[in-house]
Amino acid sequence: MTNSNRIRVGVIGASPNWGWASYVHLPALAALPAYEMTAVSTTKQASAEETARKFGIRHAFDDGVRLIEHPEVDLVVVSVRAPEHARLVRAACAAKKDVLCEWPLGVSLEETRELAKLADEAGIRTLIGLQRRLAPGVLYLRDLVHDGYVGRIRSVTLEISTPLLGHRRPRAYAYTADERNGVNVLYTVLAHFLDTVLHATSPIESLSAVVARTFDTTTIEETNEVIAVTAPDEVSLVGRLTSGAVLTARAESGKRNGSTIACTITGTDGDLVLGADFGVSGTKGDGQPLAPMPTPERYFMVPKGNLSDDVLPMAQLYAAYAKDRAEDTHRAPSFRDALAFHELLGRIDEAGTTRQRITLR
């Protein structure tokens, strides 16, 4: 692909030594010949220039809006704290630039609805950072489920635990203690993996939930300052999918020891398991051990190479967008998908608050 045909990308929030942008976005883009990284921004000019040197990028800014308005940027990537998403997405819409925003799009359903509407009115293509649904193993799992590998699905079980967002957290995560900032066990920890599982199986028909806060305070690691916590740290969900399968999902943050990410699908003819690395294991029959099921090459939109388990799904998202843009298709998840999913999470939150079972479909 010639340089003139490559998609020129500007990444906001690309700190040189820390953060999702440098850890995932920049390596994913570097692996894709359809893209050219042309600009980065952070809150400090020196750190933006350091990132630019590290990745061979021409332009560096200390202001995300200046990056958005630069003529050598076709696609804007917003990879900053969730409370800062709206301002930058609004600027991208005003500049009529395609935009990828990390999940969650907005800190509330109202803000998410506003941003999705602005993007529609601007006539731009959008992407939301729910990239795990495009991981090769997840695409393979989806086909196994829908092709009847384990027969009729009886149950789907999702279990997630993480030490993040607990009794101690770094200063950079202090904002997550406030539920108004929209980054907590329901709207981020559970959300990323619930989206993945639902994409591979079927939508939720009805649900009950417990959404709870068990931490009153948290300590900032760098200063030992103790601050109040209003965000939840435990979610348990029981529901039924439109396929008739029973869904059980549980997520907890602040776990002191160990962590878990696993999904088990039980069918009338066998079982499937999706692991933390998005690898699939499964078996049919009775009393059989689970065996790894290597993902066929056809599910890889990009060569796996040395890409990590976090980088590969993001590279898949970028590859899907490049194909969508070239062929006028819509495979990559968009702001409309973000809005629909945020609405679902809101209903889970509602079920936890009202202690009532909610029917969705």
> What pLDDT does residue 2 have?
55
Say if residues 221 and 170 touch (Cβ distance below 8 Å). Answer: yes
- pLDDT of the residue at 3: 63
Token pair in block for residue 153: 């699905």
Kindly tell me if the per-residue pLDDT of 18 is higher than 90: no
Ranges of each domain in the chain: 3-131, 133-287+331-359
* Candidate CATH numbers 3.40.50.720, 3.50.50.60, 3.30.350.10, 3.30.300.30; the one for domain 3-131: 3.40.50.720
Q: Which two tokens stand for residue 119?
A: 């993007």
Which residues 6+ apart lie within 8 Å of 311 measured at CB?
A: 23, 24, 27, 28, 31
Q: Is the pLDDT of residue 238 over 60?
A: yes
**How far is it, in rounded angstroms, from Cα 59 to Cα 9?**
11
Which residues are CB-neighbours of 287 under 8 A, at least 6 positions away? none
Question: Beta-strand (E) ranges in the chain?
Answer: 7-12, 35-41, 59-61, 75-78, 98-101, 126-128, 153-162, 168-169, 204-212, 217-220, 226-228, 234-241, 246-253, 260-267, 270-274, 280-284, 291-293, 358-359
Please answer whether residues 45 and 60 qualify as being in contact, where contact means their C-beta atoms are separated by less than 8 angstroms: yes
SS3 265: strand
- Residue 48: is its pLDDT beyond 90? yes
Answer CATH for 133-287+331-359 from 3.30.360.10, 3.40.50.300, 3.40.50.720, 3.10.180.10: 3.30.360.10
Region 194-206 average pLDDT: 98
Mean pLDDT within 143-159: 98
The band of 241, judged by pLDDT with boundaries at 50, 70 and 90, is very high
Mean pLDDT of 208-223: 98
Express each pLDDT in 104-147 by its tens digit: 999 999 999 999 999 999 999 999 999 999 999 999 999 999 99
Q: What is the arithmetic mean of pLDDT over 319-333?
A: 98
Q: Are 295 and 282 in contact (CB under 8 A)?
A: no
